[in-house]
Amino acid sequence: MKKVIGIIGGMGPLATADLFRKITLHAAVASDQEHPRVVIDSNTDIPDRTEALLHGGKSPVPEMVNSARRLERAGAEVLVMPCNTAHCFFDEVASSVRIPMLHMITLTCDALRARGVKRAGLLATDGTVRTGIYQNAFDDNDIALLTPPPAAQAAVMDIIYGGIKAGKLDYDASAFRAACEGLLAAGAETLVLGCTELPPVFELYHLDYSAVDPTLELALGALRFAGCPIK
Amino acid sequence: MKKVIGIIGGMGPLATADLFRKITLHAAVASDQEHPRVVIDSNTDIPDRTEALLHGGKSPVPEMVNSARRLERAGAEVLVMPCNTAHCFFDEVASSVRIPMLHMITLTCDALRARGVKRAGLLATDGTVRTGIYQNAFDDNDIALLTPPPAAQAAVMDIIYGGIKAGKLDYDASAFRAACEGLLAAGAETLVLGCTELPPVFELYHLDYSAVDPTLELALGALRFAGCPIK
């Protein structure tokens, strides 16, 4: 019997759709009925995570907990949260429910270790970068983490907030491209798409740098937990 | 205040992900928080609709009703159902909840009328074709409906069940292409992608015939109902 996957979503909605699509495309099944049941709360009432972490904005925790509990009531047996920055609040959300919750950043570290990566470049929001959530996990695993210099980091923030979250399909990605190339030139073997809006960014703006996709790692982790064969 | 959209999903999961993505990409908003909240039950316990309609399979209605009620309890203020064949059971599901439900096939007819289409070709499952659910709606709107001859219809069924629902990314789409071209050669001005698995089919197998996408019409209808600006 496959387990029911619950997605705390809306951080942002496109990242949520991306995770759900990856869960679906990577299930090695032959009919609708063999896919795991997935319940999603794309809760756009959750306040911005970076704003809360760095600028004294409203805490996202109460609404994240509301979603976690709603999903548990709807039958979810495991929770996932496709937002890297939101993982700064992981413990508070995970402790609000009785069902387990998978940790996207831990899963990403596992994937990098499995590939033998020793030095990775982080593309993420200011909130994720400054709280050191990737840095701490990577330190524990002896993986060196490079982050972009300030101007390049600003380009990363801008493609996330001014490009994808603002829904601009014609956004000029050249400054972001330069940020990616800067990390690779500095010795990063691969890029960590450390914001769940970035896999859709790579797809929409046709970027093809070597990258590890935490959303994909979370999708595979959820399928494994649900007992669903993977392809 | 934007209304909460509920999606009765899992028929199939990829069609559900496709609808959610279209709702997200067509919202003319500038931040996560401006998107409508969307709750989704990708309920893969719902039995196959065509099987129930044509071969005496188990009724999908009880599980569809379970999903509808769960979504209503989770706060949904309008329901949508991204599965054409499932619309044969529309009245039974809609009458099980107090919130309104949007009808994908009616919305598709509205879109064809708005474009001045007089003759359209239907690509759909045997269940959708034989129950006449499109035929009836089109008759009411004076739009002629062409359906594929038996061998071509078999190719349509096969790409849906043997291709997309079975997750075969390397499926040979040539017989399906011939079915599309047959309808256009017979005078169809455009093709109705009358199975929600077909927009992902067109995308994955790179088909670009003139087509109306009921999933997109449903996404736009849901955004309008939710009070969200559209792009």
- pLDDT tens sequence for chain B (231 residues): 789 999 999 999 999 999 999 999 999 998 999 999 999 999 999 999 999 998 999 999 999 999 999 999 999 999 999 999 999 999 999 999 999 999 999 999 999 999 999 999 999 999 899 989 999 999 888 899 999 999 999 999 999 999 887 878 789 999 999 999 999 999 999 999 999 889 988 988 889 999 999 999 999 999 999 999 999
Whether chain A has a CB inside 8 Å of the CB on B80: the answer is no
Q: Which domain holds residue B174?
A: 105-214
Say yes or no: B91 and B140 in one domain.
no
Collapse the DSSP code of A67 into the 3-class scheme (helix H, G, I; strand E, B; otherwise coil) and give the result: helix
Identified catalytic residue from B88, B109, B195, B228: B195
Per-residue pLDDT, B170: 87
Per-residue pLDDT, A197: 87
- Distances in Å between the Cα of A202 and the Cα atoms of A81, B74, B205 are 20, 33, 20
Alpha carbon of A159: minimum distance to chain B alpha carbons (Å)? 13
Say yes or no: A203 and A173 in one domain.
yes
Mark yes or no for CB contact B32/A38 under 8 Å. Answer: no
Say yes or no: B123 and B86 in one domain.
no
Q: Give the strand pairing for B5-9 and B78-80.
A: parallel
Q: Tell whether B231 is covered by a domain.
A: no
Say yes or no: A135 and A117 in one domain.
yes
Say yes or no: A67 and A121 in one domain.
no
Q: Tell whether B203 is covered by a domain.
A: yes
Whether chain A has a CB inside 8 Å of the CB on B141: the answer is no
| Cα nearest neighbour of B45 on chain A | A33
Whether chain A has a CB inside 8 Å of the CB on B200: the answer is no
Alpha helices in B115-185 (DSSP H): 126-131, 133-140, 150-158, 174-185
Q: Tell whether A87 is covered by a domain.
A: yes
Q: Tell whether A84 is covered by a domain.
A: yes
Domains of chain B: total: 2
Say yes or no: B90 and B140 in one domain.
no
Residue B119 maps to which CATH number? 3.40.50.1860
Say yes or no: B111 and B188 in one domain.
yes
Active site residue A180: no
pLDDT above 80 (res A1): no
Q: Tell whether B36 is covered by a domain.
A: yes
pLDDT above 80 (res A216): yes
Per-residue pLDDT, A170: 87
Per-residue pLDDT, B30: 86
Q: Tell whether A231 is covered by a domain.
A: no
Whether chain A has a CB inside 8 Å of the CB on B14: the answer is yes
Per-residue pLDDT, A204: 83
Mark yes or no for CB contact A40/B35 under 8 Å. Answer: no
Total CB pairs under 8 A between chain A and B: 135
Question: Which helix or strand (DSSP H or E) is residue A122 part of?
Answer: strand A119-123
Please indicate whether residue A205 or residue A60 has the higher confidence score (pLDDT): A60
What mean pLDDT value characterizes chain A? 94
| Pairwise CA distance, residues A211 & A123, whole Å | 10
Mean pLDDT throughout A17-42? 95
Which residue among B18, B35, B43 sits closest to A13, beta carbon to beta carbon?
Answer: B35
Say yes or no: B81 and B41 in one domain.
yes
Collapse the DSSP code of B3 into the 3-class scheme (helix H, G, I; strand E, B; otherwise coil) and give the result: coil
Alpha carbon of B210: minimum distance to chain A alpha carbons (Å)? 22
Alpha carbon A197 to chain centroid, angstroms: 8
Per-residue pLDDT, A164: 83
Identified catalytic residue from B83, B88, B180, B228: B83
Mark yes or no for CB contact B40/A20 under 8 Å. Answer: yes
Mutating which of A18, A32, A165 best tests the B interface, going by the most B Cβ atoms within 10 A? A32
Which residue among A25, A48, A70 sits closest to B74, beta carbon to beta carbon?
Answer: A70
pLDDT tens-digit profile of A83-95? 999 999 999 999 9
Active site residue B109: no
Mark yes or no for CB contact A14/B37 under 8 Å. Answer: no
Q: Tell whether A163 is covered by a domain.
A: yes
Mark yes or no for CB contact A32/B165 under 8 Å. Answer: yes
Say yes or no: B72 and B147 in one domain.
no
Say yes or no: A92 and A77 in one domain.
yes
Say yes or no: B92 and B113 in one domain.
no
Say yes or no: A53 and A115 in one domain.
no
* Residue A219, both tokens: 């999708």
Q: Tell whether A156 is covered by a domain.
A: yes
